[in-house]
Structure 1
Amino acid sequence: MYFVDKTLLNKRLAYIEEMSKLVDTDDKLALERTCQMLIEATVDVGNMIIDAFILRDPGSYQDVIDIMEQEKVIDSNDALKFKNTLKWRTELTRNYTDIDHQSMKLDFLDNIDAYKNFKASFEHFRKTDPQAVTAFSTDDV
């Protein structure tokens, strides 16, 4: 078991929480940045959690979400919502000149609860999973 950088984990969870409030914008560049960073930060936090338990190496962004669902960090409803937005990473990193901003915005707004719930979901997991209590055992998480 690895011990995670709890300060960094908290910063990223707070970042996700703040970014989730910014999706409802008409500024295309701000929307792109917000959506991409929601995906990246969520996967970063997921990887930190997975690393803490030496579970398995995720092969993709979707694997990170699947592992968090299997380990009960997030529920199946939130896992589905995260997966519904992961497709936009390819658009944002490879097809960035042809993004359908309205469709992306609607997809994120339809699924934003998963991002808003993520910090609370992790807190619940940390407090109730026996292994999590060991890996995240100080007051700073």
Structure 2
Amino acid sequence: MYYVNREQIGVRLQAVDEIAEALHDVASNWQGTLLQGLAQERALHLAIETVTDVGSYLIDGFIMRDASSYEDIIEITGEEGVFPANMLGTLIELVKLRRPLVQEYFVWPRSELHPLSVRIADLLPEYKAAVEQYLEREL
């Protein structure tokens, strides 16, 4: 029997709606201010951490193959059918932003609306639903 930490997955999935709402708000009112730029960075960073944390819990709980990177977490969970195949490319694109956001933040173009902000805002609720459906199906 698998031990899947549904509590911790649930805690992280609860944040999805707020992150998506923040990204929608920032994108729809974009004027390129410093505050908007910082809000966008943080929301994108939280989106990355959420999908990779959830993916890690799923990989550990269902004893999937070990991940060697953030991209690998997304690829493994995609291969296992956690979310629809059409989400894979966008989620990988998202997690590739982690390094620029966390390590190269001093060159991040804060005055520009990142194209992923709108796409991820729309995708996150679908990702959440897909994970919940996966858990129901597998458990």
TM-score, normalised by the number of residues in structure 1: 0.82
> Does 1:15 pair with 2:24?
no
* Structure 1 gap ranges (5+): 134-141
Deviations 1:18-70 (A, max 9, x none): 21111141411111111101101110000001101111110011111111111
Cα shift at 1:97: 1.1
Instruction: Please list the CA deviations of residues 76-131 of structure 1 after superposition, one character each: whole Å capped at 9, or x if unmatched.
Output: 11111111222211111111011123252x22213433312111101221222xxx
Is the 2:4–2:62 contact (alpha carbons within 8 Å) kept by the matching residues of 1?
Answer: no
Picking from 68, 76, 91, the partner of 2:85 is: 76
Tell me how far apart the structure 2 counterparts of residues 13 and 71 of structure 1 sit (CA, whole Å): 19
1:114 pairs with one of 111, 118, 123: 123
TM-score by length of 2: 0.83
Q: Is there any run of 5+ residues in structure 2 with no aligned partner, and where?
A: 31-35
Aligned length, in residue pairs:
129
Match of 1:3 in 2: 3
Kept in 2: contact 1:92–1:99 (CA 8 A): yes
Map of 1:138 onto structure 2: none
How far apart in 2 are the matches of 1:45 and 1:61? 12
Q: Equivalent pairs: percent with the same residue?
A: 29
Residue pair 2:83, 2:127 contacting (<8 A) in 1 also = yes
After TM superposition, list the pairs within 5 Å mapping 1:20-99 onto structure 2: 20-24=20-24, 25=26, 26=30, 27-99=36-108
CA contact (8 A) 1:50 1:56 kept: yes
Contact 1:32 1:92 in 2 (8 A): yes
CA distance in 2, matches of 1:2, 1:125: 14
Structural RMSD (CA) = 1.6
| SS state at 1:72 partner | coil
Distance 1:10 1:85 in 2: 21
